[in-house]
Chains A and B, each alone.
Chain A
Amino acid sequence: MNLPWRSIPLWLGALCLLAIGVAALAAPVLVGSDPLAMVARPYLWPGQNAAHWLGTDMLGRDLWSGLVYGARVSLRIGLEAGVCTALLGLAIGCLAGYFGGWVDNLLMRVTELFQIMPSLIFTLVLVIILGPRVDTLVLGIAATAWPNVARLARGEAQRLAGMEFVQAARVIGMSEARILWVHILPNALMPVLAMLAMLVGHAILTEAALAFLGLSDPNVVSWGSMIGAGRDVLRTAWYMTALPGLAIFFTVAALGLLGGALNDWLNPRRGGLQ
């Protein structure tokens, strides 16, 4: 099974993400060290001043440096929360699917519970209780996003548990923990990996929504908090809201393209009406 090298969405998504990732990593070189510094006249529109080509916000902070530093926060939260979600879902799904019986019953009821609670409100509650910081945001997002992953991993683990190589492993006396670790987990990993890009995209969107509602780490700039701040001056300076939203859109769309291509590659399905 070869990677679809000629897939345009795959390349487009990967290149966009690479560019955003490099910009985020190189932020201090690219735009200086402090995105919160007041550097020019406030309310400069994009293109008005060559030194601040994307303009400035209501306090005279450069929007371009805000966007670049915002990428650091959004990508970091997105990646960490996406990976945490995948790991949590994978662990719970594999345990439930492999052991079955009461373990499955119990874990699936818990999964159902987490799926029923409206994710955003649940995340709001968790983040308020723990206090809004980057790590609690990651935790709050991951704690509510894992049920879909768990369902997927459970189905995979159930299928694997009945397969001959797993039965053979059991017959030669391998321990349950070892079977889970060397046979079930690596094989259930693939479909979950295909989901990872989507999970990261979802996490970035959730972080933005939380920041928009006023729950973000006050010490850092994020795209969502920029939208939330710009909203107050929407009437006179809508570019302050538009620009960070476009940044979110491009990042998540790139993740979506990448995720779709990876999904087609890892879980191929063909057919349709002839």
Chain B
Amino acid sequence: MRALKAALWRLAQAVPVALMVVVLNFFLLKAVPGDMADVIAGEAGAATPEFMAQLRSQFGDDQPLPAQFIAYVKKVATFDLGWSFRYNASVASLIFDRLAATLLLMGLALLLAVLLGSALGVVAATTRQGWLRRLIGLFATLGFALPAFWLGLMIVVLFTLKLGWLPSSGLDTMGSDAHGWAYLRDVTVHLVMPVGCLAFSYLAMYIRLMHEAVRDVSQLDFVRTARAKGSSRRRQVWRHVVPNALVPVVTLTGVQFGALLSGSVTLETVFAWPGLGQLALAAVSSRDINLLLGLLFVTSLFVVVVNLLTEAVHGWLDPRIEHGARR
């Protein structure tokens, strides 16, 4: 019962943020120079003022701003995000068709980065070898500095063009009719480079985060107690320090999820991954602002959902955190 109440409270907290996303999106839409009538007139080559006026009344652009806003909210509430003239399809269907591919890519990359990054962070914080700590620190600095999309292009040169080991684009081999295991294998081979590259770009953040978290938790009283009662070093680290150090790792994954998604967007365009990044690129190159705003809206809502989930995991990792009672 308490858990349910806490979950509902969290959900209620997310509502104002989601509403603000809607409001901001509306104003961004209105800030675009020209309106839908201009776009259509531009496509058609010419239009009479009467036709333009008719179009404007059809799209509701001649209404006062508050009325337009209410109409916009009504549309958004039913996930009607407008029409993409580039694809000649509804924005919502375009986005939802591609969401899964992005999630697959991001999910695998995140998993890899969290596991590897946490392990390296723990090693960096607990090792007595100065050179090893410095090496991992250097690795984290360099990881931050490598533009992920450039790294992607370079490994395409190496593994696809020079060595011919891995396919460089798409989610599966185009035109292949493989099923079952053969298809799974095909997708896995296509996943290697994008996932590896994206995971590498996330890695630096997790190394640094885990390093700091382990260092901080190590100084807390209960670790000293564990040490005083004579528990082994291994037990201190893995039983007492690491589970608590994971709390900020989970929190930051939620908070930074928007930034993590941005990394995926650029990388997808390198590997022609059929996800949201491809869509963003197409929207940018054809200046399809409707599509781009739809993307911004859906991904923002998605981040809200991920935040709710990480808060749930948070409570599970650290039961002391009172849900519903924000500091």
Contacts and interface: CB of A to CB of B under 8 A. Distances in A.
Interface of A: 9, 109-110, 112-113, 115-122, 124-126, 128-129, 198, 201, 205, 208-209, 212-215, 227, 231, 234-235, 238, 241-242, 245, 248-253, 255-257, 260, 269, 271-274
A118 B20 contact: no
Interface residues of B, number: 60
Secondary structure class of chain B's binding surface, majority of residues: helix
5 contacts: A116-B307, A118-B258, A208-B150, A227-B150, A234-B157
Contact of B284 (A128, A252, A274): A128
Contacts of B307: 116
A248 B146 CA distance: 8
Contacts of A250: 145
Interface string B8-37: 000000001100110010001001110000
Contacts of B126: 272-273
B258 A115 contact: yes
Contacts of A248: 145, 147, 150
B21 A214 contact: no
B32 A235 contact: no
Contact of B21 (A116, A128, A242, A255): A116
Given A245-B151, A250-B145, 13 more contacts: A118-B265, A118-B296, A118-B303, A120-B262, A121-B292, A121-B296, A198-B144, A201-B144, A234-B161, A245-B154, A252-B145, A255-B145, A272-B214
A215 B241 CA distance: 45
B144 A256 contact: yes
A120 to B, nearest CB: 3
Interface in B279-308: 280-281, 284-285, 287, 289, 292-293, 295-296, 299-300, 303-304, 307
Contacts of A253: 141-142, 144-145
A9 B157 CA distance: 31
Contacts of A273: 125-126, 218, 223, 233, 236-237, 241
A249 B292 contact: no
A120 B21 contact: no
Q: Closest 3 interchain pairs by CB? A: A120-B262, A245-B150, A252-B145
B21 to A, nearest CB: 7
Given A121-B292, A129-B28, A248-B147, A213 B141 contact: no
A249 B293 CA distance: 31
B118 interface: no
A102 to B, nearest CB: 14
Nearest to A273: B218
Contacts of B269: 212-213
Contacts of B255: 115
Contacts of A113: 17, 20-21, 24
B281 to A, nearest CB: 6
Contacts of A249: 142, 145-147, 150
Contact of B149 (A209, A235, A257, A271): A209
B271 to A, nearest CB: 12
A273 B296 CA distance: 44
B103 interface: no
Interface in B213-255: 214-215, 218-219, 223, 227, 233, 236-237, 241, 255
Contact of B28 (A119, A125, A215): A125
A234 B153 contact: yes
A214 B259 contact: no
